[in-house]
Every structure is written in C-alpha cells, then in structure tokens.
C-alpha cells in the first residue's frame, strides 16, 4: 500500500512539474490583432483572436499601443481583457485627436507575452458640431482630408445660415450655406460653403487648427512637386499636383484624380458672388485661403476635372467656397 501511495505521489509531482515546466519552456501563444474600428477623435476599438494558447493557460490579454511603433505591455498603454483563450474586444480611450497610433494585441501565458500583427491608425478631429474628420499628413503638414461642415465657430457660437440667393450676394458679414441648399444630400459629400467673412473671424476651424494661408497652400504644393517659381505664379500652376489632390471617384467623367497625396478633393462647386447660386457641382472645387489681397478680395485655390494643375488667384470675399483646415 505504501508503494502504491508513493507511486501516486510521484505521478502527481511529475504532472505538476510538466505543467509548469512546459508552460515556461513550451510554445508561446499565437494570436492576431483585430481591425481597428469606431475611430473618433479620442477613442477606438480593436481586440484579438487567440489562434493557439501554446498548451498553457492564457493569464492576461488585451491590446497595447503607442505613437512610435512596436508597442509592448511593460512600457506602453494597454487594455486588460482578463484571461482565457476566447477572442476579445478592447475599447481604447484617452487618445489624442489627429494622431497616428501603432497598436497590437497581446496574450500572456507561462511562456511569456506574445503579440499579434501591428496595425496603424489615425484618430479624427471633431468640430464644434461634433462632426468628425479624417486627417492626412502631407510633407510636414497635417490637413483635414475632407471639407469643413461646421455650423458653429470653435467658441460654440453659431454661424448665420443664408439660403436666399439675393441676400447672399449683398453680404458683408459672415455666413455659410450648403451646396444647392441641400444639406441632406451634400453635407457629408462636399461640406459647406463659407464666405470669406466667416474665414476672417479666425474661429472657423476646430481649436488647434486654422484656415490655411496662401503660404500654407504653397507649402502643400511644394511637397507635391511644384517648383517655387510655379507656386509663386498665378492662375494654372504646376503639372500634376491637382491630379494628386483629387479623389479617385466622384468627379464628372474624365475628371477623377489619383489622390496619391491623400488630400481627397471632391468637386464641391461654389456659390457665386454675383447670383448667389450653386454652380459646377461635380466639375470643380474652390477653397478659401486666410490671405486677403485687399478689402474686397481674398486668395483661393481651385481644382478642375479637366486640368491636372492647381489654380491660384483672388476673388470677392462674398463668394461661397469650401474650406480645408491645417493643423497649427
């Protein structure tokens, strides 16, 4: 009986030894990182799928992230999603707006911590209305990758909405409108039109951003391959910089671009200063700059579906044009 008892104890201790030794020297866990979704200006969601636990219990899992790459749980921010080998979802909070992050899932067993593949994502920017915007880094600048569509200044005061065409042509104060006065159809596609008096307030873009100056646009154009002489010229300038800025879809036949810049320009048209009507939807687009020429005229940029260059000139401040924002 004593011999039998010793045998049972030996088997027990051998099993325990194999369990713990195997976890320390056996296989690490294998997992994949779940696509990042639900991205806002300060949050996102991701997670992980456990492919194999490596023969050992998963004791911790989640995602970790940083701004530099190859995040690790020891030094970087992370979520904790408990234990076990089930797939998991992580809610990521406390992020900074318009910032690129590197993220990967992790799982810890007795062999140590394993990581899934790294995913890069960028947070969005919110305006005073709560609209969220994608961003793009071009050269050393960070731009909104879509037109502004706020109805409020960044101090939360409202911008006057003017729909009447005749009233628009007589304005000398700030206003906005929707293309063809159709918010439902065009807000998310093209953004809003603003006269230059709204730009002049300095409060149109989200806090930390501004309406680009003429010089800001030149910096963008130089980063896309214009020479300084071309950037300083007026009317049509450059070669294919406009094509690089235009979206790959959405323009009238033959007008699409390559969007290799990520600027994602859409043909939002404009609101005419003489008639007050919306013109050239689907064909061309204008953006105000924050630089004025005189008391009545300010500078702008224009892209056409029929031209791959970029147009630079000035026009009357009461015209309605799109607005992009660039980070301070």
Q: Residue 24 has what pLDDT? A: 54
Tell me the pTM.
Answer: 0.86
Task: Give the max Cα distance, the chain.
Answer: 108
221 with 233: CB under 8 angstroms? no
Quote the pLDDT of residue 95: 98
All structural domains of the chain with their residue ranges: 30-122, 125-327
Q: What is the average pLDDT across 89-114?
A: 97
Rounded to an integer, what distance in angstroms lies between the CA atom of residue 40 and that of residue 133?
A: 9
Distance CA 26, CA 18 (A): 10
pLDDT at 1: 44
Strand partners, 321: 194
Terminal-residue alpha carbon distance, the chain? 83
The conformation of residue 37, written as its DSSP 8-state character, comes to B
By the 10 Å C-beta count (0-12 exposed, 13-18 middle, 19+ buried), 130 is classed as exposed
* 15: enclosing H helix or E strand: helix 2-25
Give the mean model confidence (pLDDT) for residues 255-262: 98
Check the CA dihedral 210-216-221-222 and report its sign.
negative
Residue 321 structure tokens: 């044009």
Per the structure block, which two tokens stand in for 26? 């056996």
| Average pLDDT of span 136-151 | 97
45 contacts 89 by C-beta, under 8 angstroms: yes
CATH class of the region 30-122? mainly beta
Give the CA distances from residue 272 to residues 58, 187, 268, 315, in Å, rounded to whole numbers and listed in that order.
64, 18, 13, 10
**Model confidence at 25, in pLDDT bands (50, 70, 90)?**
low
> What backbone phi and psi angles, to 5 degrees, belong to 199?
-60, -40
Give me the pLDDT at residue 96, please: 96
Instruction: Kindly give the residue spans of alpha helices, DSSP state H, lying in 70-178.
Output: 165-169
How does DSSP assign 283-304, residue by residue? TEEEEEEEEESSSSEEEEEEEE
- Which of 236 and 26 is assigned the larger pLDDT? 236
Answer whether 167's CB lies under 8 Å from 114's CB: no
The residue among 22 and 316 whose pLDDT is bigger is 316
């Amino acid at each position: 009986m004593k011999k039998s008892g010793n045998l049972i104890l030996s088997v027990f201790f051998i099993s325990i030894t194999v369990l713990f030794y195997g976890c320390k020297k056996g296989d690490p866990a294998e997992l994949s990182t779940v696509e990042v979704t639900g991205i806002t200006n300060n949050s996102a969601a991701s997670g992980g799928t456990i492919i194999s636990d490596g023969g050992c219990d998963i004791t911790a899992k989640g995602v970790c992230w940083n701004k530099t790459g190859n995040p690790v749980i020891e030094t970087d921010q992370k979520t904790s999603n408990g234990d076990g080998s089930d797939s998991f979802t992580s809610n990521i909070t406390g992020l900074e707006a318009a910032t690129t992050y590197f993220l990967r899932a992790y799982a810890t067993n007795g062999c140590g911590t394993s990581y899934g593949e790294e995913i890069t994502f960028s947070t969005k920017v919110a305006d005073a209305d709560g609209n969220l915007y994608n961003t793009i880094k071009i050269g050393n600048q960070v731009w909104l990758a879509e037109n502004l569509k706020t109805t409020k200044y960044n101090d939360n005061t409202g911008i006057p909405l003017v729909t009447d065409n005749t009233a628009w042509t007589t304005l000398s104060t700030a206003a906005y409108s929707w293309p063809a006065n159709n918010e439902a159809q065009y807000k998310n596609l093209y953004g809003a039109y603003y006269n230059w008096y709204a730009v002049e307030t300095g409060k149109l873009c989200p806090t930390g951003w501004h309406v680009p100056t003429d010089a800001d646009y030149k910096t963008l154009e130089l980063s896309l391959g214009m020479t300084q002489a071309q950037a300083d010229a007026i009317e049509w300038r450059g070669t294919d910089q406009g094509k690089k800025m235009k979206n790959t879809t959405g323009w009238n036949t033959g007008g699409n671009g390559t969007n290799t810049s990520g600027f994602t320009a859409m043909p939002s048209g404009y609101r005419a200063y003489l008639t007050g009507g919306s013109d050239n939807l689907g064909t061309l687009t204008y953006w105000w700059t924050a630089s004025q020429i005189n008391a009545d005229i300010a500078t702008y940029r224009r892209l056409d579906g029929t031209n791959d260059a970029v147009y630079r000139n000035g026009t009357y401040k009461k015209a309605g044009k799109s607005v992009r924002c660039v980070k301070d």
